[in-house]
Amino acid sequence: MKRSLQLLLVSFLFGSLAYAQVTKVEAIGITVKDMTRSVQFYTGVLGFKKVSDVEYKGTGPEKLEGLFGINMRVVRLQLGEEFIDLIDYLTAGGRSIPENQASNDLFFQHIAIVVSDMDEAFNQLKKFNVEYVSTSPQTLPQSNTAAAGIRAFYFHDADGHNLELIWFPKGKGNPKWQLAHGKIFLGIDHTAIAVSSTDASHTFYQDVLGIERKGDSWNHGDEQEHLNNVKGASLHITGYRAAAGPGVEFLQYLEP
């Protein structure tokens, strides 16, 4: 299984500009090994709903993916207004996620699933014996003005992909996340990716793709270390958003 989370971007050209400008993050792609198992995990544990189930093969998908001889099954799932695409490459090849992965690896990526009640959501994960990354749900301290009061927890899906539960207090995040409508799992706020250079990534995502930079925070301390499960973790976190869809967040580890 190839380890992969991908962004499906909807874009158009502005006049004579050479680069496509992204208007929406349409979906986040997650490569899986066993589609049945993954669909059961996301729908049964996290409340996603199945939208479509399509198989792709031939020269079109080969050119899109840059891989010869592929045959892939794509199942689209929805949570709130956001979508993920589970991708199962039916032909052989690829590699599984390393068992010794860490949150400060450069291949790290997660999706942040918004919850209305962190304690209830965490209890739901415990019922299904999910694998933890964080030691427990963490509340970010008041000293971190940009993220103060936000609660978060990292864990793994059935294939070892990193996922995050995130809870926003009033005044933080998109106001829509305060409208629970009786649900625990509400939608996807963003996908976060580890980067080696915020400046270089900014050049690509904002200057080339046109996704707007919305804010920065510098996260460190006991809560952040236990959230990421990285001793001494110190991060520069930068948030970007297109006009619609989930945001894209950069995680640059300053330490270690």
Domain range spanning residue 28?
Answer: 5-89
Shared-domain flag, residues 161 and 245: yes
- On whether residue 100 sits in a domain, the answer given is no
Shared-domain flag, residues 20 and 76: yes
Can you give the pLDDT at residue 110?
95
Shared-domain flag, residues 67 and 18: yes
- On whether residue 95 sits in a domain, the answer given is no
The radius of gyration computed from the CA coordinates of the chain, to the nearest angstrom, equals 18
pLDDT in tens, 20-46: 688 999 999 999 999 999 999 999 999
- Residue 2 confidence class, pLDDT cut points 50, 70, 90: very low
pLDDT in tens, 171-198: 999 999 999 989 999 999 999 999 999 9
Shared-domain flag, residues 63 and 160: no
- On whether residue 77 sits in a domain, the answer given is yes
pLDDT in tens, 121-165: 999 999 999 999 999 999 999 998 889 999 999 999 999 999 999
169's CB contacts (< 8 A; 6+ apart) are 149, 150
Shared-domain flag, residues 223 and 143: yes
What residue ranges in 90-177 does DSSP mark as E strands? 109-115, 138-139, 151-156, 162-167
The domain tally of the chain equals: 2
- On whether residue 235 sits in a domain, the answer given is yes
Shared-domain flag, residues 129 and 216: yes
Shared-domain flag, residues 77 and 162: no
- On whether residue 104 sits in a domain, the answer given is no
- Residue 240 confidence class, pLDDT cut points 50, 70, 90: very high
Which residues in 230-253 are b (16+ Cβ under 10 Å) and which e? beebbbbbbbbbbeebbbbbbbbb
Shared-domain flag, residues 55 and 154: no
- On whether residue 103 sits in a domain, the answer given is no
- On whether residue 155 sits in a domain, the answer given is yes
Shared-domain flag, residues 131 and 194: yes
Shared-domain flag, residues 147 and 216: yes
Q: Quick count: other Cβ atoms within 10 Å of Cβ 67? A: 15
- On whether residue 82 sits in a domain, the answer given is yes
Domain boundary among 36, 61, 89: 89
Domain boundary among 89, 119, 149: 89
Shared-domain flag, residues 150 and 244: yes
150 φ, ψ (degrees, to nearest 5): -70, 140
Shared-domain flag, residues 209 and 165: yes
For residue 36, the domain's CATH number is 3.10.180.10
Beta bridge partners of 204: none
3's CB contacts (< 8 A; 6+ apart) are 31, 94, 95, 96, 97, 107, 160, 161
Q: Is the dihedral of CA 54, 60, 61, 65 positive or negative?
A: negative
